[in-house]
Amino acid sequence: MKVSLGRPVKVNNFLTTLNITLIANRNLKKMEARAGAAIKKISTASSYKAAIDAYEKEMKLV
C-alpha cells in the first residue's frame, strides 16, 4: 500500500496557510516512507487480530 501526503506543492501550500516553514520535497518523501511503514505495521496487526477474533467466534458456534 502506498501512502501519500499529497503533492509536495499541496502540502507546502497548506503549511504556508498555517504560517509554518516549508518542507523540502526530499524530506517529504522520507516522511511518507516512514508513515507508510508505520501504517502497514498497524494494519497488519489489526488484520491479524480480526482473523483471530473471527476464528474464536466461529469456534464458539461449533
Please give the Cα distance from 26 to 52 (Å, whole number).
40
Q: What is the pLDDT of residues 15-62, one digit of tens each?
A: 888 898 888 888 888 888 888 888 999 999 999 999 999 999 999 877
* pLDDT beyond 50 at 1: no
Position 15: which residue type? Answer: L
**pTM exceeds 0.75:** no
